[in-house]
Amino acid sequence: MADASPYILITALIASLMLIGANALYPQQGSVFGSLLSYDRLGGFFGVVTLLVTLFVTVSSVVVTNERPNAPLYYSLLSFTALGMLILSYAADLLMLFIAWELMSLPTYALAGFEKRRAQSNEAAAKYAIIGALSSAIILYAISLTYGFAGTTQIAPAVRAIASQPFNPLASTAILLFVVGFGFKMSIVPFHMWAPDAYEGAPPTISTLLAAATKKAGFVAAIRVLLAVTTVYAVTQNPVFSTANVFAVLALVTMTLGNIAALTQKSMTRLLAYSSIAQAGYILIGFVMYAYSTGVGGYQQEAIIGMTGSLFHVLNHAVMKGAAFLVASLVLFKLRRADVQAYGGLARRMPVSAFTLTVAFLALAGVPPLSGFWSKVLLFLSVLNGPYSWLAVAGILNSAFSMGFYAWIIKRMYMDESETTEKVNESTGFVVVFAVAVALIIGLGIFPGPAIAFAQNAIPTIFAR
């Protein structure tokens, strides 16, 4: 008898996605559970993103986990991760945020090592669990300092309390700890070291979840806490170490190091991992002008454009990177190889997978008229006419540089010869996900207006009141 657990989870995810999507488009502003959760457009935006990726992963996993006796455990862990990400998206209290963070993280440690007979999978799970526990401990310590300083764990009152006393040592320490803790989950440099090993060792479908979903949950936590606090509080009196400058340096280093490292990889999973790190750098560009605008009292339009670009790129990256990782998952499942040489002549053996990967790579590089082009345009426009115009130049150069390794893989798939011309059966579940992902990438590129409006409408709820 076929296992029903994946289909139960798929049904629950579709129903949740419809409900969250409807609430995100037509929100009833308010809070529940004693103001521990706040259902607003920002939470709805990230809820849609994380649930969509989880749905992609679940549908794709059906064929991978078929006839495995521990499949129900796999899907139960996946469901707890989805629940944690969803609660995290709406968290309005620091302790609730931490509980949701752990509910999201703990199942992923087990999922990363789910192929327990593979030494590489066990190693990845161990590294990921250690780094994850460290980041959780840092965040919890930051929360305790915040409570000691503000006397509350509610995000809104805590932000107001921190803003009322600038340059307080406790508040500054808490903010720096939040930067480090959230930095690990967002895999921004220099807190990225766990990502390539964890992505490579985890089952490929779980690598998709880590790169395209849990990473986005890290961003919503950073936006609700870190961005809200740092835009109303100066950590030091030295203008060189302003919040905007810190975000600008992190964005530059993250996207540059990620792209350079990706160019040298021989494993497709590691290439995608470093590429994902680089994409986090692009997302941080929107944070720069938002922080700078709040600090100087100007550039409001640029700040709105920047954060719209960041949120839009979060959505785009979830779809683009999710599709790319799932192609790598199917290639590994069918060909038993993860090296880039396995992609030689792939277009003749697995045409749907090759086309999906091509579209995803072109979108990640920012080639028009695909969706990634528009989010990058918004991000670069936000800093083009201000003091951080150099960041736009760096972003454009990095995008052009990334096209080098993306085009190299595309060339291998369509122009190189394969070891055999035997056709490979591309599983139906994967093909359905690929079709939806490609439709979203092309559709949001040709008609970006609704997605841009969806992202822009979430901006007013960034700052807790």
DSSP output for 358-384: HHHHHHHHT-TTSHHHHHHHHHHHHHH
The pLDDT assigned to 74 comes to 87
Residue 439 has pLDDT above 90, yes or no: yes
Of 329 and 238, which is predicted with more confidence?
Answer: 329
Predicted confidence at residue 319, as pLDDT, reads 92
3-state helix, strand, coil in the chain (%, to 5): 80, 0, 20
- Per-residue confidence band for 438, with pLDDT thresholds at 50, 70 and 90: very high
How confident is the model over 369-394, as a mean pLDDT?
A: 89
Q: What is the mean pLDDT of residues 296-303?
A: 77
Taking only Cα atoms into account, the Rg of the chain, rounded to an integer number of angstroms, comes to 21
- Number of alpha carbons in the 13 Å side-chain half-sphere of residue 376: 29
Q: Tell me what the mean pLDDT of segment 50-74 comes to.
A: 84
Greatest mean pLDDT range, 166-170, 231-235, 285-289: 285-289
Smallest CA-to-CA distance from 455 within 324, 327, 317, 296 is with: 317
* 261 or 168: which leads in pLDDT: 261
Residues across the chain: 465
Residue-wise pLDDT for 201-218, tens only, equals 788 888 888 888 888 888
Tell me the C-alpha distance between 121 and 128, whole Å.
Answer: 10
Query: What does the mean pLDDT of the chain come to?
Result: 84
- The pLDDT assigned to 465 comes to 43
* Tokens matching residue 94: 């620091």
> Would you say 112 and 128 are in contact if contact means Cβ atoms under 8 Å apart?
yes
pLDDT at residue 294 above 90?
no
| pLDDT for the residue numbered 434 | 92
> What pLDDT band is residue 464 in, cutting at 50, 70 and 90?
very low
Tokens 């835009």 belong to which residue?
A: 231
Contacts of 384 (CB under 8 A, 6+ apart): 392
More confident residue, 165 or 79: 79
Is residue 57 a contact partner of residue 2, using CB atoms and an 8 Å limit? no
Q: Report d(CA 415, CA 170) in Å as an integer.
A: 59
Task: Please write the tens of the pLDDT for every residue from 315-340.
Answer: 999 999 999 999 988 888 888 787 88
Cα 56 from Cα 77, distance rounded (Å): 15
Q: What percent of the chain has pLDDT over 70?
A: 92
Cα angle, residue 380 at apex, residues 376 and 384 outer, rounded to 5°: 165
Query: CA–CA separation, 409 vs 341, rounded Å?
Result: 9
pLDDT tens by residue, 63-112: 877 767 778 888 899 999 999 999 888 888 888 989 998 999 899 888 88
Closest to 103 in 3D by CA, of 121, 115, 119, 87? 87
Query: Which pLDDT score is estimated for 446?
Result: 92
Beta bridge partners of 31: 38
Cβ proximity of 284 and 183 under 8 Å: no
Region 267-294 average pLDDT: 87
Q: Which residue has the tokens 């930095």?
A: 183
In this prediction, residue 1 has a pLDDT band, given cuts at 50, 70 and 90, of: very low
* 268 CB-near residues (< 8 Å, 6+ apart): 328, 331, 338, 339, 340, 342, 343, 409
**Cα separation of 48 and 27, whole Å?**
13
pLDDT(440) > 90: yes
**What amino acid occupies position 434?**
F
For residue 236, what pLDDT is reported? 56
> What does the buried/exposed string (b/e) look like for 317-355 if buried means 16 or more CB atoms within 10 Å of the residue's CB?
bbbbbbbbbbbbbbbbbbbeebebebbbbbbbbbebbbb
By CB atoms closer than 10 A (0-12, 13-18, 19+), residue 168 is middle
44 Cβ partners below 8 Å, 6+ apart?
Answer: 20, 21, 23, 24, 25, 27, 89, 458
Q: Is the pLDDT of residue 234 over 70?
A: no
Q: Please answer whether residues 230 and 175 qualify as being in contact, where contact means their C-beta atoms are separated by less than 8 angstroms.
A: yes
Residue type, 449: G
Percent of the chain with pLDDT over 90: 22
What's the CA gap between 417 and 19, in Å, rounded? Answer: 47
**pLDDT over 90 (residue 247):** no
Contact indicator for 126, 186 with CB cutoff of 8 Å? no
Place of tokens 């090993």: 197
pLDDT digits (tens, 9 = 90+) for 174-195: 888 888 888 887 888 777 777 7
Which range, 163-167, 382-386, 388-392, has the best average confidence (pLDDT)? 388-392
For residue 248, what are the contacts with CB-CB under 8 A and spacing of at least 6?
Answer: 288, 388, 391
Average pLDDT over residues 5-18: 89
* Residue 159 predicted with pLDDT over 50: yes
Judge contact between 374 and 456, C-beta under 8 A: no
